[in-house]
């Protein structure tokens, strides 16, 4: 239960900090943090939780990461469902808090930092571009996680490598899909937007999970 609570809190912080920066600070008049700031915010959420709660639950904060770690032989299958449920609930809680804040000045939620492709892609990128982006980015993210947390890797630097890895991922892919690589993050925002966000949600669940599983299999091969 303590692991599940840690995953709930950690995923709450990731969605609140990352999506919150996009919704509240990215374009704030005169001093907005922009794409680079939002990218860094997502990386900082993972970095801070990795060092504060990672020793309790491993700080997965992401259903794709949990499933990828299972595919890589790092966790047992019985851990997947409790972790995934905790992560999704944490993301939904964060989205609920953000909804209250964002609408606090009378504003509508708009796209609410939801993920999308086609006309709902920030840069108008196609379905194929979105699939390739999410697959490659999640694959690389899991390779970074598996490698940085390997018993033979330098100790104490995993959180830094993973946080910076997620920052880089966002720097590249925000214009394409608003960056998912995390089904919990995508589900939480899509449920509040509804409509097109729910219709396109399948991609941001299936593709990150596929990329993560592929990375787990590849890493096991590299280690064998």
What pLDDT digit, counting tens, does each position of 13-66 carry?
999 999 999 999 988 888 889 999 999 999 999 999 999 999 999 999 999 999
Query: Residue 94 — very low, low, confident or very high, per pLDDT cuts 50/70/90?
Result: very high
The CA distance from 224 to 218, in Å, is 10
**pLDDT digits over 161-214, tens only?**
999 999 999 999 999 999 999 999 999 999 999 999 999 999 999 999 999 999
Report residue 1 CA to chain centroid gap.
22
Residue 219, pLDDT > 90, answer yes
Cα distances from 47 to residues 2, 146, 161, in angstroms, run 20, 15, 8
Quote the CA–CA distance of 224 and 168 in Å, as a whole number.
28
Query: Domain 2-223 belongs to what architecture?
Result: Up-down Bundle (1.20)
* Average pLDDT across the chain, whole number: 95
Backbone angles phi, psi at 30, to 5 degrees: 85, -30
pLDDT at 121: 97
Angle subtended at Cα 21 by Cα 15 and Cα 26, rounded to the nearest 5 degrees: 145
What pLDDT sits at residue 148?
95
**Measured between alpha carbons, how far is 146 from 216 in angstroms, rounded to an integer?**
8
CA pair distance 116, 203, nearest whole angstrom:
9
């Amino acid at each position: 239960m303590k692991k599940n609570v840690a995953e709930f809190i950690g995923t709450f912080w990731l969605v609140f900090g990352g999506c919150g920066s996009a919704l509240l600070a990215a374009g704030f008049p005169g001093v907005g943090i922009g794409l680079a700031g939002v990218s860094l915010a997502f990386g900082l959420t993972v970095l801070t939780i990795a060092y504060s709660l990672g020793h309790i639950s491993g700080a997965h904060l992401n259903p794709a990461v949990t499933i990828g770690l299972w595919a890589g032989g790092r966790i047992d299958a019985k851990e997947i469902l409790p972790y995934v449920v905790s992560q999704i609930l944490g993301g939904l809680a964060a989205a609920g808090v953000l909804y209250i804040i964002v609408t606090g000045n009378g504003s509508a939620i708009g796209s609410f930092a939801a993920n999308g492709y086609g006309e709902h892609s920030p840069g108008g990128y196609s379905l194929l571009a979105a699939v390739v982006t999410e697959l490659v980015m999640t694959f690389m993210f899991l390779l970074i996680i598996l490698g940085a947390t390997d018993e033979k890797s330098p100790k104490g630097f995993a959180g830094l490598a993973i946080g910076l890895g997620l920052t880089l991922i966002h720097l590249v892919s925000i214009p394409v899909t608003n960056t998912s690589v995390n089904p919990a993050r995508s589900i939480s925002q899509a449920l509040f937007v509804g409509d097109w966000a729910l219709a396109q949600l399948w991609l941001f669940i299936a593709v990150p999970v596929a990329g993560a599983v592929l990375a787990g299999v590849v890493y096991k091969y590299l280690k064998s």
